[in-house]
Structure 1
Amino acid sequence: MEWAGWVGEVFRRHAGGPVLAVRRMWRGPGRERDLTVQAGKAALAACLAWAVAGWWLQAPAAFVAPWMAVVLVESTVYRSLAHGLQQVAAIAVGTVVATCVALVLDSTMVAMVVVLPAVLLLAQWQRLGSQGIYAATGALFVLTDGQVSLATSGARIAEAVFGAAVGIAVNALIRPPVYLRDTRAALADAAREAQEILEAVADGLDDGEWDTHAAGEWHECALRLGNLVDQARSAIGWSRESMRGNHRGLGAAGIPRPGEVYDNALAMLDQVAVHLAGVTRTVLEIALHEGEAVRTDPQITRPYADFLRHTARLIGLYGQTRFAQNGTDQAAERALREAVDELRRSLDELHRKLSGTLRDNPDAVATHGALLVQARRLADQLVQD
């Protein structure tokens, strides 16, 4: 029964992701739990809107209310409000234009030919933002209904307003989303990745077991670090937006607001990513163009490896002190200050040893001098924070 085994393997492979997500959601706070809560809130908003518009009031176009409620349980309270206003305006514009044209013309097809190009052009209006397409949606609701009247169109706009109000209220009042945890995690991931890259390069240089392939992998990892920093920058933007109009505020998340500390960390990691890309690119160029004797000379590689290890330790301590879940302790701060002093001493020692070696080996000045320049830039960026 080979096919049964194949089916079972495919099922395990594709079902493993959802099962793991459910476990993470159950285990504690995180992205999976946030998504689950948002899905539940959207369903609740739709049920509330339908209970009032469809069940209690029996409105003629009651489906509009739960539909609006669902789509406006957005990723942030601010976005719910902003998109809600734009979406209601777009639907109102499309509904009014379609109603006026349909009442004048006696053909649904002709009305569509006239109305849809007009409302799709209106959808590009800057004030409607990304919600402009709902102008065409509102027009289609009118034109495909079969019975066009001012009363029905007015009721449809009113139900859209009511549904939007329900969606915004549910999103704002019931556990409004906060992304501070995601911001801290993104910054911590970038710091941890930078530390791991530096340690890998240091180990390779110290052992002498590195070639073009290894240097190329280090450079690719350094370039990916830039993507992690960009993700952290995006997370900070989401965090700030999620705090606008959010009653949960500081206490519910248990994490400091994204302020100057996060801005400084982002600037530092951005510069680290740039300089680390420069370091690994220089190492790769050495592997590509220099001879084996120059590349593995311990007088050059070992001091530089020591400097990179001190740099990696400093970045690791920086991440622990700035992005810790339970705040910063005094011992970690002292260790960070000591690491700064060690990095300065390591840079001075690297400068002394590398300068002496370069005088004895003029052929290595161009490439290894670039390493020294990158090292000084990296150290200057780290010790100024």
Structure 2
Amino acid sequence: MREWMQRWRQRVDERLGDPIWWNDVLQLVKTVLAAVAAWVIAASLLELPQPFLAPWAALLVVHATVYRTFSKGMQQVAATVVAVVLASVVGRALGLDAWALTVLLAIALVLGAVPWLGAEATTIATTALVVLTTGFESDVLIISRLLDTAIGVGVGLLVNVIVWPPLRRHTAAKALDRIDDQIGELLVDMAGGLGDGCQDEDVAGWIERTRDIDADLDQAWALVRQAQESARLNPRRQARAMRNPEQWHGLLRRLEQAVAETRSLARTLGGQRSHRETWGEGFADPWISMLHDAGRATGDADPDALLDVRARLEGLTDALRSTERSAEWPVYGALIINLRNIIDSMDRVAEAQPIGGPGLPLRVPVRRRGTS
């Protein structure tokens, strides 16, 4: 029971300190706030008839970034105007029947093919459908629905800009941090497997893990691009550094290089049937130890430890040069170059580890003995 409680507490602590999770929670709260506020303004303050389009528009316009909120807000306004006008024209010309619905939806989806309105094709169709089926005869209702939409869009914009405008900097940093942790864990596991005598399935598993890290890298690139977008039109002071995230791009390229070198390293190991016996203890013991220490230093984001491993690797290389050449020299060279390139890529990543800033200091409170 105590172990289960400790695991539960650790998971909760990790979630409370995860900026990605908090960004999602904040976005959810802001979306709900915008929709409810739009409804209150349209229904209670302005007393508009059937003010359902106000919260609908607010829900659609609150996006992950301020820039996208503005750009989507303009598209939303245009799409709603088109939908309301289309529903009014079709309703007055054909009435309300199956044929009118067919014509309405067909025209709405065709209009959605316009590049600037393409993302709003469904919005045009659904809004026009709602307007047609709930009343299109009265000009007052048509104007009211346009006003509802404007209220929803305006409230959504204000909420997303005023209430802690989203800046995806910590989200992107967390993604990078997870990737270097994965690389470090993989290197440590490879060193452990080599020490125990790895099999072909172990090597295949290491290669597959590098592919998984590649997928996470693609996601990290997307998050960095989203962070750059989130800095546009963002009034927060921290947004300035994200408008041209060249440092982030450089770190991602280094992580890509480290993953490629790790995969190459695993493939080289896959061609060796018996590692320690074939290499000899003069190479196997120090190199495996350095592979393990490089993995630990990568996971801990310790640039000094990585530089220490690199110095040891250079010492091993110099020592091997002074010995008689053997049939294993090509393998030695490949493994040394792979490990050196991994260290050279990851030491800069480790140096930049504070780029994401400290984690959120939120934890589950611990009840101490002797206290009530």
The aligned residue for residue 236 of structure 1 is 224
Instruction: Output the CA distance in 1 between the equivalents of 2:189 and 2:274.
Output: 22
Instruction: Output the CA distance in 2 between the equivalents of 1:170 and 1:195.
Output: 41
Judged with a 3 Å threshold, the aligned counterparts in structure 2 of structure 1 residues 181 and 380 are, in CA distance, closer, same or farther, namely: closer
Residue 203 of structure 2 is aligned with which of 182, 206, 215? Answer: 215
Q: What per-residue deviation string (whole Å, max 9, x for no partner) do you get for residues 124-179 of structure 1? A: 22112422221101210222124434432232122112111101111110112222
Q: Is 1:360 the counterpart of 2:346 in the alignment?
A: no
The aligned residue for residue 168 of structure 1 is 157
Q: CA RMSD in A?
A: 3.4
Residue 371 of structure 1 is aligned with which of 325, 335, 339? Answer: 335
State how 1:1-385 maps to structure 2 within 5 Å: 27=16, 30-205=19-194, 207-250=195-238, 259-286=245-272, 290=273, 295=278, 297-309=280-292, 311-312=294-295, 315-316=298-299, 319=301, 335=304, 339-340=306-307, 342-347=309-314, 349-350=316-317, 353=320, 359-361=325-327, 364=328, 370-375=334-339, 377-378=341-342, 381=345
Q: What per-residue deviation string (whole Å, max 9, x for no partner) do you get for residues 222-248 of structure 1? A: 222222322322221222222222223
- Secondary structure of 1:152's partner? helix
Judged with a 3 Å threshold, the aligned counterparts in structure 2 of structure 1 residues 355 and 245 are, in CA distance, closer, same or farther, namely: farther
Residues 34 and 177, structure 1, Cα contact 8 Å, conserved in 2: yes
Q: CA deviation at 1:274?
A: 0.9
Residues 176 and 248, structure 1, Cα contact 8 Å, conserved in 2: yes
Judged with a 3 Å threshold, the aligned counterparts in structure 2 of structure 1 residues 299 and 64 are, in CA distance, closer, same or farther, namely: same
The aligned residue for residue 355 of structure 2 is none
Residues 88 and 161, structure 1, Cα contact 8 Å, conserved in 2: yes
Q: CA deviation at 1:22?
A: 7.3
Instruction: Output the CA distance in 1 between the equivalents of 2:58 and 2:96.
Output: 32
Q: What per-residue deviation string (whole Å, max 9, x for no partner) do you get for residues 258-304 of structure 1? A: 73332222111111011111111221232xxx357855643443343
Residues 96 and 133, structure 2, Cα contact 8 Å, conserved in 1: no
Instruction: Output the CA distance in 2 between the equivalents of 1:292 and 1:53.
Output: 73
Instruction: Output the CA distance in 2 between the equivalents of 1:71 and 1:209.
Output: 56
Letter in 2 for 1:260: E
Instruction: Output the CA distance in 2 between the equivalents of 1:32 and 1:191.
Output: 20
Please give the TM-score of this superposition, normalised by the length of structure 1.
0.77
Residues 222 and 280, structure 1, Cα contact 8 Å, conserved in 2: no
Q: What per-residue deviation string (whole Å, max 9, x for no partner) do you get for residues 284-327 of structure 1? A: 232xxx3578556434433432442454355346x35xxxxxxx
Instruction: Output the CA distance in 2 between the equivalents of 1:377 and 1:292.
Output: 21
Query: Where has structure 1 moved over 6 Å in runs of 4 or more?
Result: 19-25, 255-258
Instruction: Output the CA distance in 2 between the equivalents of 1:89 and 1:285.
Output: 61
Instruction: Output the CA distance in 2 between the equivalents of 1:223 and 1:276.
Output: 11
Residues 21 and 32, structure 1, Cα contact 8 Å, conserved in 2: no
Residues 183 and 298, structure 2, Cα contact 8 Å, conserved in 1: yes
Total equivalences in the alignment = 344
Judged with a 3 Å threshold, the aligned counterparts in structure 2 of structure 1 residues 126 and 348 are, in CA distance, closer, same or farther, namely: farther
* 5+ long unaligned stretches in structure 1: 1-11, 321-332
Residues 102 and 143, structure 1, Cα contact 8 Å, conserved in 2: yes
Judged with a 3 Å threshold, the aligned counterparts in structure 2 of structure 1 residues 28 and 188 are, in CA distance, closer, same or farther, namely: closer
Please give the TM-score of this superposition, normalised by the length of structure 2.
0.79
Instruction: Output the CA distance in 1 between the equivalents of 2:56 and 2:177.
Output: 39
Instruction: Output the CA distance in 2 between the equivalents of 1:79 and 1:107.
Output: 36
* Larger relative contact order (Cα-Cα within 8 Å, sequence gap ≥ 6): 2
Residues 90 and 134, structure 1, Cα contact 8 Å, conserved in 2: yes
Letter in 1 for 2:220: A
